[in-house]
Chains A and B, each alone.
Chain A
Amino acid sequence: MYVQCIAESINIMGTRTGNAMRQRDPGPIVEMAHEEVADGGDFLDLNIGPARKDGTDLMPWIVKVTEAVTDCPLSMDTTNADALIAGMQAAKNPERHLMNSISLQPERMKKLIPVAAEAGCYVVALLWGVDGMPRDSNERAAMTVELCMAMNEAGIPNEKILVDPIATPITLGSDQVMSGLEFMAMLPEIVPGAKSTVGLSNVSNGVSTEKRHYLNRAYLAMLMKYGIWSAIVDTYDHELIELAHGERPELVKIVHDIMDDNDPDPDSLSPKELEYYKTTRVLMGKTVFSESWLEL
């Protein structure tokens, strides 16, 4: 199994690339793009933030900067709809890129769906409605139907749609994490042929930085059970990329066994395997999460 890795680090919030974006200095962005591709990025996320003032200038600029130095497809990531439109229009090969994202806000759908259809690009269908986040798998299903139907009607085929079930932090409880996974199991029946993606690191939001990788990795392995097509990831976490690219099947198997209630004997596991064992169990709610979950 191979999960497409959307490299997340070119980001207005980042210290290296944030300033570069503001100063229109291509150097650090080009440098990071090369690093992310070398580390296994399959898409490069270009997160320019809300970009209320200069999004329509910044997105085309950064698209041109990155297209000039790499063939890696891009993920244009902003809440500014006009910036997404400007970015797609500036791209040499828009059909290879990803529009990140279209949520269930009527004005956003109306504005962006025709552009995505015209560009022939991939598009993230973000399950975020006018009332905010879906509360369970059924609400996710209802939102998926509505959003994908609107996209289909405009001429976007399911194969170009990446449904994002929205990852919720483990600190809000494992019920929400599990309902996202439950929805992933339903997705092929709801929208046959549709792809999927997830902002992986949301699951570890609120947990101390040095421990977040463990949660992100195990959560990715859990999503792989339901054939997640892509994930927005930190490509500097090499173990995570190995997992995504199918190079650590033994670790993925442990996670899937636990999900099948076929838990291995922890005494038989290596320290690395134990990380996955303990983390999967807290994500599933088999054990209550706490900051010290790996030490128990």
Chain B
Amino acid sequence: MEPSAGSIAECVIGDGDKAITVGGEKTLPFHVFEGDMGNAPRIAFEVLDSAPEEWPEPLVKHYSDVFNDPAAWAQKCVKEFNAKAICLSLVSTDPNGANVSSADAAKVAQKVVEAVDVPIILWGCGNADKDTETLREVTGLVGTRKVALGPLTDANYRTLGATAMAFQYPVVASTPIDVNLAKQLNILLENLGVSLDHILMDPSIGAVGYGLEYTYSVMERIRLAALTQNDDKLSVPFIVNLGREVWKAKETKQPSDGMIGDQERRGVLMEAVTASSLLFAGGELMIMRHPKAVSMTEALIEGLM
């Protein structure tokens, strides 16, 4: 392999001494023997803005006491599990689900943002129009706190990109597992005026057993183009929203049995293995759910840096 020529941009999320910086690599993931790995990858705990209905028992047992209070949930992640960042999923706003109004969802988001001082990623429901509405509403309430907004897609990058620029927020650029489309969205955002050091790329991922290899290969190609071809439009850190993918797999929901083992251990391993695999593909900011899976992944990162 030729030595790396490029480097990954650094992206800062959050405020003050709790702010985190991801990216900055000048070499392939964990090739610390070859070059500067920049900042260590980070993990954000995912918090939902409404009580989840279909979470499996191994998650429920850790969070059910705070299910109905997202602010308390975020605080619990920080205090009990030492979360360095929080990703608030605004799932309640989904027009195909509870369809909570943007104004109401924004108030909940505001409470979460005010409850903790770690960096916050505000992740919409995935409906481009509703996310535009909700995330713009939130920015009016959280003001100067440097939250990250996502997901921005080709359908709403203009409005949300403009909003993020006005507040100097970093954004999550989401594309459906495709190198060309990932590059194109970064170009479009840059043309709009969002600088590359304010973008986190979400390549869309699959959990282990559910398309992990495909995701890995796309991320690997993006990272190789960034480092060996010096492709600055792809030289952006990855944000990897993996917890939700792992914990919707049926293997995390099947009860313990002699054949496939203990349910909690199984789910934790699936999450930790998905996370560690995608760290090797270049993941920088991982969004996860189970505290044990997080601590295992953090131990791995620490051991390899």
Residue of B nearest to A170 (CB): B180
Do A288 and B187 have beta carbons less than 8 Å apart? no
With A and B bound together, what is the CA distance between A296 and B229 in angstroms? 14
- A290-B229 in contact (CB<8A): no
B277 contacts partner chain A, Cβ-Cβ < 8 Å: no
| Closest-CB distance, B215 to chain A (whole angstroms) | 15
Q: Say if the beta carbon of A270 comes within 8 Å of chain B.
A: no
B60 touches A (CB below 8 Å): no
Task: Tell me whether B290 is interfacial, beta carbon within 8 Å.
Answer: no
Contacting residues of chain B (259-294) with chain A, CB-CB under 8 angstroms: none
Q: Does B183 contact A (CB under 8 A)?
A: yes
Closest approach, in angstroms, between the C-beta of A212 and any C-beta of chain B?
Answer: 15
Q: Which residues of chain B are within 8 angstroms of A292 by Cβ–Cβ distance?
A: 184, 187-188, 191
Closest to B188 in A: A292
CB distance from A23 to the nearest CB of B (A): 40
Interface string of A280-296 (1 = CB under 8 A from B): 00000011111110011
Does B179 count as interface, using CB distance less than 8 angstroms?
yes
Give the residue name and chain of the B residue nearest to A295 (CB): B187
**Pairwise interchain contact B229-A291, C-beta atoms closer than 8 A:** no
Measured in the bound complex, the distance between the Cα atoms of B179 and A171 in whole Å is 9
B15 close to A (CB within 8 Å): no
Q: Tell me the bound Cα distance from A10 to B229 in angstroms.
A: 42
A288 to B180, CA, bound (A): 7
Q: Does A173 contact B (CB under 8 A)?
A: yes
Residues facing B in A242-296 (CB within 8 A) are: 286-292, 295-296
- Give the residues in chain A near B253, CB-CB below 8 Å: none
The answer on a CB contact under 8 Å between B225 and A290 is no
| Complex Cα spacing A295 to B191, Å | 11
Q: Does any Cβ of A come within 8 Å of B233's Cβ?
A: yes
Q: A291 contacts B233, CB within 8 Å?
A: no
B231 interfacial by beta-carbon distance below 8 Å? yes
* Distance A171 CA – B177 CA, assembled complex (angstroms): 12
A131 to chain B, nearest CB (A): 20
In the bound complex, CA of A46 to CA of B58 (Å): 63
Q: Are A291 and B179 in contact (CB under 8 A)?
A: no
Cβ 8 A contact of A296, one of B181, B221, B233: B233
**Shortest distance from the beta carbon of B240 to any chain A beta carbon, whole Å:** 20
Q: How far is the CA of A292 from the CA of B181 in the complex (A)?
A: 10
Interface string of B173-198 (1 = CB under 8 A from A): 00000011101100110010000000
Question: Which chain A residue lies CB-closest to B232?
Answer: A296
- Which residues of A sit under 8 angstroms from B234, Cβ to Cβ? 288
Q: How far is the CA of A217 from the CA of B221 in the complex (A)?
A: 26
Contact with A along B227-245 (1 / 0, CB 8 A): 0010101100000000000
Compute how far the CA of A291 lies from the CA of B183 in the bound complex, rounded to whole angstroms.
Answer: 9
Are A171 and B187 in contact, with the CB atoms below 8 A? Answer: no
Chain B residues in the interface with A (C-beta under 8 A): 179-181, 183-184, 187-188, 191, 221-222, 225, 229, 231, 233-234
Closest 4 CB pairs of A and B: A290-B183, A290-B184, A288-B225, A292-B187
**Residues of A at under 8 Å CB distance from B?**
171, 173, 286-292, 295-296
- Give 4 new A-B contacts, CB below 8 A, not counting A288-B183, A292-B184: A171-B180, A290-B233, A291-B180, A292-B191
Can you sample 19 A-B contacts with CB below 8 Å? Answer: A173-B179, A286-B229, A287-B225, A287-B229, A287-B231, A288-B221, A288-B225, A288-B234, A289-B179, A289-B180, A290-B180, A290-B184, A291-B180, A291-B184, A292-B187, A292-B191, A295-B187, A296-B187, A296-B233
